[in-house]
């Protein structure tokens, strides 16, 4: 669920603090490279940037390997770039990934500690010996100067929507009309119940009101004894 992002944030903090205390993380850009499925403070870890973020994802219980390889011994920042959806910075959240490369994120990947709405968010970085560390995104952009920066959404399962949330997410004229009448998907609620108002404009277009009036008139004509609202 979405709280896995909180788990990722905790893991980023824990691993950075462990490295500062124990010096137990070691940069190793080699393949094959095992992705640990468990971790305790002080454990020796041998990973590079891509397997570092894959390890965090695996420890957080995210079933979909960011590299799309089932957490096998192979994968890199390019496979992460190819597997995950690309998103604008403004949509990026804690735990999402940012790649650097001239073509396909081939040079580096880091994990967002803060969301993309922060102008210069902190990222978890495992790019050399003495890391992981939390550093500003601008530092990585500067270090990888001129390379394309791509934000990638990690596949964290979303919390299932409640029935009311699903109603509030509906759009368009027909859903607005059903909501006003308390019919269709809204038949369990009173007409125009504000708790389950669909995702429609606060001031619906005039044509909606025109079509709504025509619908009520046609219904009354077809069913003269039916009360209309």
Distance, in Å, from the CA atom of 153 to the CA atom of 75, rounded to the nearest integer, reads 17
The per-residue pLDDT for 50 is: 98
| Residues 74-98 pLDDT 10s | 999 999 999 999 999 999 999 999 9
pLDDT classification of 2: cutoffs 50, 70, 90: low
* Residue 47 CB-density burial (10 A; 0-12 exposed, 13-18 middle, 19+ buried): buried
The per-residue pLDDT for 225 is: 65
Domains of the chain, by residue range, sit at: 4-153, 163-222
> Taking a C-beta distance cutoff of 8 angstroms, is the pair 96, 90 a contact?
no
| Residues 156-197 pLDDT 10s | 877 777 899 899 999 999 999 999 999 999 999 999 999 999
Calculate the dihedral angle through the C-alpha atoms of 112, 114, 115, 119, rounding to the nearest 10 degrees. -110
132 preceded by a cis bond (ω within 30 of 0): yes
The per-residue pLDDT for 229 is: 54
CB atoms within 10 A of CB 38: 7
pLDDT classification of 1: cutoffs 50, 70, 90: very low
> Taking a C-beta distance cutoff of 8 angstroms, is the pair 2, 20 a contact?
no
Mean predicted lDDT score pLDDT of the chain:
94
pLDDT classification of 227: cutoffs 50, 70, 90: low
Bridge partners of 133, per DSSP, are: 125
| Residues 35-70 pLDDT 10s | 999 999 999 999 999 999 999 999 999 999 999 999
> Taking a C-beta distance cutoff of 8 angstroms, is the pair 54, 111 a contact?
no
Q: Which runs of E-coded beta strand occur in 148-196?
A: 148-153
pLDDT of 228 strictly over 60: no
pLDDT of 5 strictly over 50: yes
Helix pair angle (173-181, 206-222), 10° resolution: 50
> Taking a C-beta distance cutoff of 8 angstroms, is the pair 66, 154 a contact?
yes
User: Which CATH architecture group holds 4-153?
Assistant: Alpha-Beta Complex (3.90)
Mean pLDDT confidence for 102-121: 97
Give percent above pLDDT 90 in the chain. 89
């Amino acid at each position: 669920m979405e709280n896995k992002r909180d788990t990722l944030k905790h893991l980023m903090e824990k691993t950075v603090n462990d490295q500062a205390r124990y010096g137990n993380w070691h940069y190793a850009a080699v393949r094959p490279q095992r992705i640990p499925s468990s971790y305790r403070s002080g454990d020796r870890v041998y990973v590079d940037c891509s397997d570092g973020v894959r390890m965090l994802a695996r420890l957080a219980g995210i079933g979909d390997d960011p590299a799309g390889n089932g957490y096998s011994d192979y994968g890199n920042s390019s496979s992460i770039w190819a597997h995950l959806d690309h998103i604008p910075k403004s949509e990026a959240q804690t735990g999402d990934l940012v790649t650097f490369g001239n073509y396909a994120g081939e040079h580096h990947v880091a994990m967002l500690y803060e969301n993309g709405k922060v102008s210069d968010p902190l990222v978890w970085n495992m790019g050399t010996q003495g890391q992981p560390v939390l550093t500003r995104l601008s530092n990585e952009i500067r270090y990888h100067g001129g390379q394309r920066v791509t934000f990638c959404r990690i596949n964290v399962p979303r919390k299932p929507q409640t029935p009311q949330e699903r109603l509030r997410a509906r759009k368009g004229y027909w859903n607005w009309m059903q909501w006003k009448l308390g019919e269709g998907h809204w038949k369990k609620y009173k007409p125009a119940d504000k708790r389950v108002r669909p995702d429609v404009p606060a001031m619906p277009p005039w044509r909606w009101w025109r079509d709504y009036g025509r619908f009520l008139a046609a219904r009354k004509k077809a069913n003269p004894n039916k009360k209309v609202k």
